[in-house]
Structure 1
Amino acid sequence: MIYTCIIHDREVSDPPSDLQTTVVSSRNITIKWNRPVNTYSEENYGYVIQLKNDSECVKEAVYRCSNCLGTFQPLELKGMCSSVVRDTFSKTKSELDDLQTYQFLNLQPDTAYTINVAAVTNLGRGNAATIVQTTYEEAPQSPPYNVEVSDIRTTSFRVSWRMDEPRPGQTNFTITVFADKPAATKEFSTKGFATRSYIVQGLEEYWGYSVTVTAVTSVGAKTSDATLQYRTLPAAPGKVSNFEITDAPGGNYTNMQISWNAPAILQRNGVIKDYSLIFSSSKNIPEKKILAHTFVEFHIYTATVDVIPGEIYSVEVYATNEQDLKGASTTKFVQAPTAEKSRTGSDCDGAKNSIIIGVVLGALLLIVSTYAGYATLVIRRYKTKQEVPESSKTRTKQRRGPIYGNETFMIGETEEIDSSDPAAVRHSETEYTRLDENTKDDKGTYDIIQAM
């Protein structure tokens, strides 16, 4: 008889089932799981629970059966963590068959952890169930402190600070730079909890600033105390303001008056010591005058210089600060006026005025003449009305032809009409019959025409 012996490969336990997290906070994670579907062993000796961060063991827990026939020693298992991070707990066989839980404490906020759970049998440590869980963010533990300003330049400086661990989450820092008025307060941002300094730029020259630093996460923010005030370094001054040139002040054509104000307050860039005025023409050597700076606000600086009438002059003004830094210059070119030009201008103005007066007087004379002609016509008309009734009865009419000709009248013709001859009267009424009915009734109008 031939016997056949079948040898089965020894298998380790299946992974625990239903592994999941139940409670998560910024510092703790609680998990639960059930026994494996198959352990391939008569007894489940217990569990190994591990929590890792980037493959580094952070915490390990071991559940050991206290009343099983067999047992195990953690040192005998492969892939175990250091005993420094290990806790060991005893459980009965029935307890190991129930739903299992474990809580990891004192973790780091906003950190991803890998959690492995495996059953242990007489064949060793079984296959592991694995999940990944990230703890929640939290507000910073404390505000930034030891805020300092260093490496001060004309328009920048470095701000540094310290922060307490642990990292509370995705952390941003806001650096607020408070400026004296009228300069603007500015904010700068940088990312990363590990950041401990930042260079702020774009500041005003020789200006006072204080600083705060705010740590910000999605949960909250905390702000440091303000630093003492720091001042940026001085720089060359900007241009003077309200630069003006007055020609021939007081009618003196051999003088020019030059005036200006200090640069705008944010353009002074330091303490101004004095102002330089340089003026010249093609016919003389450049001259320079220096005016001391005064601290009176809105003070106007004025200088009077000698000029040659008609010459073109270059005028330059700039400020100098206590560090002897020359400021930006303002330059103008101007021609000194002459008395002749001014008189010529006056004569032209007088001629223009004379033309205007002549036009006005001509218009007035035209109006007066028109009015006088109209008045004369009215008077003649009135006198004619008074004389016509008497002369028409007693005298022979003599009329003179009009000074114009048409189909009835001839230019320059003169004739006598006998009023006793009706035919003659009818033929001579051509001129009268051409008038409209209203004008015929007005005998004075006809007489006026006869008198022309």
Structure 2
Amino acid sequence: DDDGEFQSKFGSSDSGDDEYLGSAKDIAIEESTRKIFVSDSERDSISVFDSSENFVTSFDSFDGNDDFQNPSGLIVDNDNDMLYVVDSGNDRIVVFELVTGITCPSGTVESVDGICYVKKFGTSGSDEGEFDDPIGIAFDETNDLLYVSDTDNNRIQIFNIISGTTCPVGTQEIVDGVCFVEEFGEVGSGDGEFDSPMGIAFDAVNGLLFVADSDNDRIQAFNVDVEPPSLAPTPPVNLDAAPVSASSIILTWDEPDLAQGVPDITGYKIEYKFGTGNYIVITQNTGSKSTSFIHKGLNSENTYSYRVYAINSEGTSASSSIVSEKPRHTTTPAALTANAISPNQIKLTWLPPSETFGQEISGYEIKREVISGVYDTVGSVDDDVTTFVVSNLETDKTYTFAVSAFIGYGSTQESESASATPRDDSVDTSQEPVTSTEVEIGISTPPIKLTATVVSATQINLSWSPPVDDGNSAITGYKIQVKKDNGEFSTLVADSESTTRTYSHKNLNTNSKYTYKVFAINAAGTSEASNEFSATPKANTVQISPIGKLTIDEGKLLSFSVKLVDSSVKDVVFSLEKNPEGSKIISNTGMFSWTPSAGDGGKTHVFDVVAKKDGNTDKKEITIIVNDVMNEPVAEPEPTDEPEVLGIAPFVDESKDPQSYVDRYNNEKTYKDWFDKTYPEYE
């Protein structure tokens, strides 16, 4: 209550209960229903309780077969009944729509009753819209801004959640409806710097964002500026599509009405897709006020969908409505448009029919509709003319027209009709259609050079190169499949929705073999698989066998080979740390050698042998005791030659294991006889 006195508790510590909360991480409440959502990182699930604190349901998967890994932060956008889940272990944000009843809206997928998967965004990395173990989340419902504490990247990322598909000027689209705005923070302990930021909360009254700066043991507060209203245009209206030929479609639309103070339209952005592919840009900016566009190079077997955006000096509008059409031959004049160009004139434009059955077009007949389906001829033009101006019309009266083509000894049927109404303020704003480059798109070739690198006992990092041929359609994402040991391949990532060519696969089983393959995705579909690559995470793939203490007389050679516990591990790099002067180790074989000088006699040297491979390192301490060799005193020593300190025999290859020479000496008589005869000084 208001005095902070305990009122109730709910949940359970018994793993057999439905309401079990093994490791509750965060809580969010839906205002309209007072439902309580709790993230449970032990069960990798979200539990739901009603307003009376009774267990309702829980869910741990979505979108068919996708799963949470260590879900943490939760927030509800109560204006739009959307639940945002920070899926920390997968470095992403997952979005759900909360509905009343059991029917999910079109375009969403039911997870459990009343909870519908909408989309996800984010992947592992440090670029805009990428995350490394995100934890906290907050939402500004007034400005539709989503704040995410990107913990291991030591920053806060801000996203604008929009209802359309076109991001505001100055932002970057991450996925449809999610636009990256900015980020702030870096590792450190100064103002505005972070060391593992975790929980965050937004104070809507004062416009403050509070951040729990975890490893700096403090809370930081930030003033969040709100951007001024956008002067970008509203979307184009009345978008229509019509076939021009078996490989072309024409789009037409009307310029949007602009509010006072909004700059004029300067061009249009046009996107298309076919099948279940993503939208791709045909033209980023037509740079023209023309409200028609011809898309060439199409396949007559496909149905194409289009959307158009208006552009001015302040930015780009949201998208228009979507229209779909299939290219096919036309046997009458196509794409007829009518535009009032003065108070008593209408200008008609059209395109020739694409199929004339071998006949020549000799001209066109322009007709005005008297009653539905009945026409009067108002003029004609030659075969090379596809425009006609009808004059002497009444102001504010709507007129409807059609066009026929003269072919051979007859004419075609009338075209589709078009209408316009001359007004007192009508002026000629018509322009020639913009035409696309004639390019056929297709599925890309597979990604290449896939590699998998073990970085820890539970993590493998993937990297690959893009396809050699993108099929004339930009790569929009990658699909990743994995199999464990001798199992079947399953989909790890259905669509990364990013051109990033790296992926970190975490929470793996030690000593299990993982095999991967990657597919490229473009507007035409999904490519064939890349090469396969396997890796096996181990508890420590590099472990030096114990060496212990060694003793050597001064002036004598000490040599030995550093061994690994697992002798099957290859490509290990050996080195020394704090080693005595003159000692060395061969980096690729681990062969150590040292001849202590007279000054080392009576000393004990303690130093480290280091082995490294694929980010794994092991270090073992070695102790070498050097004996101080004392000579017996003699009355009158005879002059003698100083004994020669023997080094490594000249035939020895230092990159090989010394034990191999010992084995041959002990096991091969001819080798032993040759050695004793050739090198008697080594007896």
TM range (shorter): under 0.3
**Whose helix proportion is higher, 1 or 2?**
1
Give the number of the structure whose alpha-carbon radius of gyration is greater: 1
Under a length normalisation based on structure 1, what TM-score does the superposition of the two structures give?
Answer: 0.26
